[in-house]
Amino acid sequence: MNKVATDYSFGLFINGEWRIKEDTVPVLNKYNQEKIGETSITNESDVKEAVESAKKAFQVPFSLYDRYQVLLKVAQLLKDNTEEFAAIIAQEVGKPINEARGEVGRSALTLENSAEEAKRIHGEEIPVEAAPGSENRKAFTRRYPVGVVAAITPFNVPLNLVCHKVGPALAAGNSVVLKPAEQTPLTALLLTRLFEEAGLPKGRLNVLTGEGHEVGPLLTSNPDVNMFTFTGSPQVGERIRKEAGLRDVALELGNNSATIVHKDADIDQAAQLVAQKSFNNAGQVCISVQRVYVHDDVYDQFLGKVREATSQIKLGDPMDPSTQMGPMIAEEEAARVEEWVNEAVAEGAAIETGGKRDGVFYQPTVLTNVNSEMKVCKQEVFGPVVAIDSYADEDEVISFVNDSEYGLQAGLFTNSLAFAMKAMDHIHVGGLIVNDTSGYRVDHMPYGGVKKSGTGKEGPRYAIEEMTEEKIVVFNL
Ligand SMILES: NC(=O)c1ccc[n+]([C@@H]2O[C@H](COP(=O)([O-])OP(=O)(O)OC[C@H]3O[C@@H](n4cnc5c(N)ncnc54)[C@H](O)[C@@H]3O)[C@@H](O)[C@H]2O)c1
Ligand SMILES: O=C[C@H](O)CS(=O)(=O)O
């Protein structure tokens, strides 16, 4: 039975039609656990049909200019509907409303930039005539869409991280099957309504909701999916890479992000930004500041300021504009963070502020006396906890930052250009942010990790490269 979606009771979106299923699941407000919407559960034949519809739509021409226009239109619609989107994000994630508004604004920019980059897809001239025997030849490359892209996204940034996949994939000329996170599917489904309104051709975007461990394997085992673009945990990312076989896979995974505060830094600025970027979205951000290394000379001064700023963070209902930090995504997650902090304390760590849980809330927490073997340093906390340690010299702190299985972004506060350049050369990450924290990102920059943080880059221009195949044509003239 096919019905049009109404309010926040959504069906699946397959071949341009909403399909409300008998099997549904409620979506909860993460602050008060009240039901705010409902989604359908995807089964095997839905996956098959969604992929088939994407494959068929891919055969129908969709001009570059039309792609540009649809993406720009959706960006504008997003801006026009900022308040509705922000309210849904705030409720389904538990993200403070002001942060949620920021996410909507960034998402519109991501789509605008995807539209712009659609016009810049190009190959290059290759001087094959430079090889002896090829004097009569000329060659150039062009980029072609891969076909059907399966996009799988996490709960923490449910709009912008969807835009980072759907925007470039459509701009490049692909069709998409999107599987948003089960905890936060409403935002992606609302966005789908905007794509409908903007006139996206049927089948170019299909949306399947449900548990990742059920829908994911149905997508990876479908041979008509040509590429997977995934943002989420390293465990799931590794699994998708194995199941995808020889098909392309882009992976944006976790991090235990480090930020260095050198002795010559602006300590007020560093403390204020660390206290903010450790606790945005309750620390559930892949580039959230987790490990901070402070030069011995400024350690006490910096710690005092971070402790003070952190202890003033106001927790509460994400819909209240004065709230600075909301709940975590689920009580089990808050309990896991509590366990990791308690374990660190048992191993010698000190709680400078925070350290307590109340249901789904975990207080913004600053730890000291930490060591690199503690889970709160070694693994990704993905919660509101920052561990602060000291260092004596530049080489030592570079080795501390690199002592990680991850490598997404790192921050460095310093006024020394020489140290900044040395850090750029020797810190093994996808991005180094000087005079800001690891948590800085704008949406058109190349963004992606090394080591266990993933492979491939996002930012529309770079994602389009991932989502297209380069072909060379050689003329024997
Ligand atoms: N590098 C980045 O850009 C970035 C951005 C945001 C989040 N993250 C990472 O995401 C993680 C937190 O997000 P999460 O808890 O939603 O991650 P997750 O890996 O649990 O889930 C992500 C998505 O994968 C799906 N999934 C689960 N099992 C699957 C399977 N077997 N096959 C296919 N898909 C499956 C989920 O349903 C969800 O849609 C953290 O590690 C965080 O660092 C990384
Ligand atoms: O969670 C990780 C996100 O990629 C960070 S951001 O929201 O894009 O800045």
Q: Which of 38, 182, 252, 466 is catalytic?
A: 252
Ligand 2: list residues with CB < 6 Å. 156-157, 160, 285-287, 441
**Which residue, by CA, sits nearest to atom 26 of ligand 1?**
212
Percent of the chain at pLDDT > 70 equals: 99
Give dist(CA 121, CA 182) in Å, integer: 33
129 is catalytic: no
The alpha carbon of residue 163 and the mean position of all alpha carbons in its chain are separated, in whole angstroms, by: 10
Give dist(CA 151, CA 54) in Å, integer: 12
Beta-bridge partners for 137: 476
The residue ranking higher by pLDDT, 2 or 177, is 177
**Which residue, by CA, sits nearest to atom 6 of ligand 1?**
286
Give dist(CA 387, CA 433) in Å, integer: 19
* R_g of the chain, CA atoms, integer Å: 23
Q: What is the pLDDT of residues 111-145, one digit of tens each?
A: 999 999 999 999 999 999 999 999 999 999 999 99
Contact criterion met (CB below 8 Å) for 170 and 192: no
- pLDDT of res. 7: 73
- pLDDT of res. 2: 36
Q: What is the pLDDT of residues 32-43, one digit of tens each?
A: 999 999 999 999
Q: What is the pLDDT of residues 288-336, one digit of tens each?
A: 999 999 999 999 999 999 999 999 999 999 999 999 999 999 999 999 9
Q: What is the strand order of the sheet 137-145 is part of?
A: 125-126, 137-145, 468-476
Atom of ligand 1 nearest to the CA of 212: 37
Q: What is the pLDDT of residues 334-367, one digit of tens each?
A: 999 999 999 999 999 999 999 999 999 999 999 9
**Is residue 212 within 6 Å of ligand 1 at its C-beta?**
yes
> Beta strands 35-40 and 24-28: pairing type?
antiparallel
Beta-bridge partners for 39: 25
Q: What is the pLDDT of residues 359-396, one digit of tens each?
A: 999 999 999 999 999 999 999 999 999 999 999 999 99
In this prediction, the answer to ipTM > 0.90 reads yes
Contact criterion met (CB below 8 Å) for 158 and 93: yes
Angle at 176 between CA 170 and CA 180, to 5 degrees: 115
Burial degree of 133 (CB within 10 A; 0-12, 13-18, 19+): exposed
- pLDDT of res. 48: 98
Write the Ramachandran bin of 442: left for phi over 0, alpha for psi from -120 to 50, otherwise beta.
beta
**Is residue 152 within 6 Å of ligand 1 at its C-beta?**
yes
Size of the chain in residues: 477
Distance 318 CA to ligand 2 centre (A): 18
DSSP 68: H
For residue 160, give the ligand nearest its CA. 2
Atom of ligand 2 nearest to the CA of 458: 4
343 is catalytic: no
Q: What is the pLDDT of residues 305-314, one digit of tens each?
A: 999 999 999 9
Q: What is the strand order of the sheet 258-261 is part of?
A: 350-353, 365-368, 385-391, 291-295, 258-261, 409-413, 431-434
Mean pLDDT of 263-277: 98
Contact criterion met (CB below 8 Å) for 328 and 362: yes
**Is residue 239 within 6 Å of ligand 1 at its C-beta?**
yes
- The pLDDT of residue 72 is above 70: yes
**Is residue 244 within 6 Å of ligand 1 at its C-beta?**
no
DSSP per residue, 224-282: T--EEEEES-HHHHHHHHHHHTTSEEEEE-----EEEE-TTS-HHHHHHHHHHHTTGGG
Give dist(CA 383, CA 337) in Å, integer: 6
Pocket test for ligand 2, best of 252, 286, 457 (most atoms within 8 A of CB): 286
- The pLDDT of residue 6 is above 70: no
- pLDDT of res. 3: 38
Mean pLDDT of the chain: 97
The whole model's pTM is what?
0.97
Give dist(CA 112, CA 105) in Å, integer: 11
Write down the H helix ranges in 261-416: 267-277, 299-311, 331-346, 375-378, 394-402
- The pLDDT of residue 1 is above 80: no
Lookup result for tokens 């509101």: 384
Listed residue (390, 449, 42) closest to 252, CA to CA: 449
Which domains does the chain possess?
Answer: 8-253+453-476 (3.40.605.10), 258-434 (3.40.309.10)
- The pLDDT of residue 226 is above 70: yes
Listed residue (13, 3, 1) closest to 193, CA to CA: 13
The alpha carbon of residue 350 and the mean position of all alpha carbons in its chain are separated, in whole angstroms, by: 31
Listed residue (39, 371, 365) closest to 178, CA to CA: 39
